[in-house]
Chain A
Amino acid sequence: MLNDSAFKRLPSNAAETISFRVEGQVVTARAGESVAAAVLAAGLGPTRTTAVSTSPRAPYCMMGVCFECLMVIDGQANTQGCMIPVVEGMEVGFQHGARAVMEESV
């Protein structure tokens, strides 16, 4: 599952390991880390394509400034992956192009 662009885990103080899904694929992560970090550690991405030209993007600033890490987290599109701690069983999807307006019956 890991590929060449995966970030490497350095020897760390013990923490709970959790698993969640990225685009349907099961990925393990360190409890408490951000969704964006966990996705980068799994070497997955690009994590979105842009609304204007559908060019590929991935997390850039990791501190909530750039909004490049927008993903679909537990069904919620346009969520900043770097600001959300990953939790067991989370469903993360990549975001393609502009967010569609959801049709809801009122």
Chain B
Amino acid sequence: MSTVQYDLAVVGAGPAGMAAAIESAHRGLNVVVIDEQPRAGGQIYRQVGQPVLQDKRILGPEYYYGADLVAEFSAAKIEVLHSATVWEIGARHLCLSLEGSSRRISFSRLLLATGAQERPVPFPGWTTPGVMTCGAAQIMLKSSGLAPSEPLVIAGSGPLLLLIACQLQRAGVSIAAVLDTTPSRHYVEALRELPGALRGWRYLLKGCKLLMELRSAGVKRLSGVQQLRAEGGSDGKLARVRFRHKDREQTLACSTLLVHQGVVPNVQLTRSLGAEHRWDELQQCWHPCLDSGGETSVGGVFVAGDSAGIGGALVAELQGKLAAIEIASRLGDTGQQTQNTEAHDQDTQKLQQAIAQQLAIRPFLDRLYRPAAVFLRPADETLVCRCEEVTAGDIRSVAKNGCAGPNQAKAFSRAGMGPCQGRMCGLTVSQLMAEVHNAPVSEVGYYNIRSPIKPVTLGELASMEPELESELEPKLESEFVEQAKA
């Protein structure tokens, strides 16, 4: 059986993946893009090719900006596999599930552009039906034109919290309250990043505008909110949210509670590949270790966009383009492509400058919107692993009993063994183990992620066309050698 060999496979059709695919196609590479969604755009530009909402004011120009990128992507000479889920990944091959059957794809270079996920926000009652993330509400707006049921409360910290509050307010949704959990000392700490942040003044201005918009719309916004708890009614659905504000216990009735504590890179695929990661103390999350061209410690595997570290949609687009230029040039080194070195250096330098300009605001934002400690290392009774229903207390207890890291804790507590495969508890479990062992999170480490990276049925596995043994064996051997090196 012969499999198509692509020059480049891109996972993710958000801004980074689309920009990378467009650029590499222009440079003559044979590129395939794999995306879980039925349409290109990623979460940020979801459905922008066929927008749902009539009123363009609701989502604003930054959303519709993505339409040109999606159009360019659709017109380019790129093979795109939509609604496809990657469940196994290697440096030169991947396996994906599409329309109920699985297939294997081979390539010379791999670019992971899997974006971000919302930081899991453990607090008492966060599993109650009716509690959702701010990102989920935004996805519903973009892809279905749906607004959450009222009464609605929005709680948490970060730019997306303000943005979704404004978007829902513009859509005519009545917001009972925005509960800002940003600790007040963060405002002071963020001030020292202000001079640098002034280079990104457009973002600062945007933030101020959102705050003013909420104020002039008369949306109640409480700052310094603590002890957030969601409670269900007799039907099991969300009934109320309790919290402490200015030393006063308060309760608000609600049927939807949208929570948010920032976004973190989706590192499931880089983890599965065994690439090196580092703990980012400021963003409180893992980043894959990358060289200046975006290549990971696993040769031939690149990362761009939010899955490399949170920078936002515009940075992702620039990084995607940069990675494509690097990939084309590095492929050229092996004789497959040719590239003018001087033009290459000019292109990459310009992109790197533009990225630096866009990232100028990040230290300010990261310091200001660092989640309060209670969301990073919740109290004992709080559920940490939603799938297997393991509490923070359970994790602390296995750590005290001698579990050194998350993988051992997994075996003793089942945390991380459910269908989400640690996506919702991984960061918290590492934090809790680090706390008990009084060690840095970087030392405690993270779950080993193994394929299948997303659940796949046995029927689908069985449907895969077997490879000829002569093809299979040398490939497997070379993979073992690569993994041993990594």
Interfacial residues, chain A to chain B (CB-CB below 8 A): 4-13, 15, 30, 32-34, 37-38, 40-41, 43, 45-47, 50-53, 55-68, 70, 76, 78, 83, 85
Contacts and interface: CB of A to CB of B under 8 A. Distances in A.
B387 interface: yes
Interface bin, chain B: 35 or more
A33 B143 contact: yes
B129 A46 contact: yes
A5 B237 contact: yes
A16 B483 CA distance: 49
Central interface residue in B55, B266, B387, by most chain A CB within 10 Å: B387
Interface in B143-176: 143-149, 171-173
A66 B145 contact: no
B129 A7 contact: no
Contacts of B418: 51, 67
A8 B135 contact: no
B124 to A, nearest CB: 13
A45 B127 contact: no
Interface stretch (B46-54, B219-227, B280-288): B46-54
B429 to A, nearest CB: 16
B117 interface: yes
B419 A67 contact: yes
A65 B149 CA distance: 22
Contacts of A52: 388-389
Contacts of B132: 58-62
B202 to A, nearest CB: 27
25 contacts: A7-B149, A9-B146, A10-B53, A10-B54, A12-B53, A12-B54, A12-B145, A13-B50, A13-B53, A13-B54, A38-B144, A41-B144, A55-B127, A60-B127, A60-B133, A62-B139, A63-B135, A65-B117, A65-B420, A65-B424, A67-B387, A67-B419, A67-B423, A83-B85, A85-B38
Contacts of A43: 149
Nearest to B455: A78
A63 B42 CA distance: 10
Given A10-B58, A65-B266, A67-B423, 4 more contacts: A10-B145, A58-B129, A64-B36, A78-B455
B36 A41 contact: no
Main secondary structure of the interface of B (DSSP, over half): loop
A60 B386 CA distance: 11
B432 to A, nearest CB: 19
Contacts of A63: 43, 117, 135-136, 139
Contacts of A45: 129, 237
Contacts of B133: 60-62
A41 B141 CA distance: 12
B52 A66 contact: no
A40 B146 contact: yes
B130 A9 contact: no
Nearest to B420: A67
A30 B454 CA distance: 27
B386 A10 contact: no
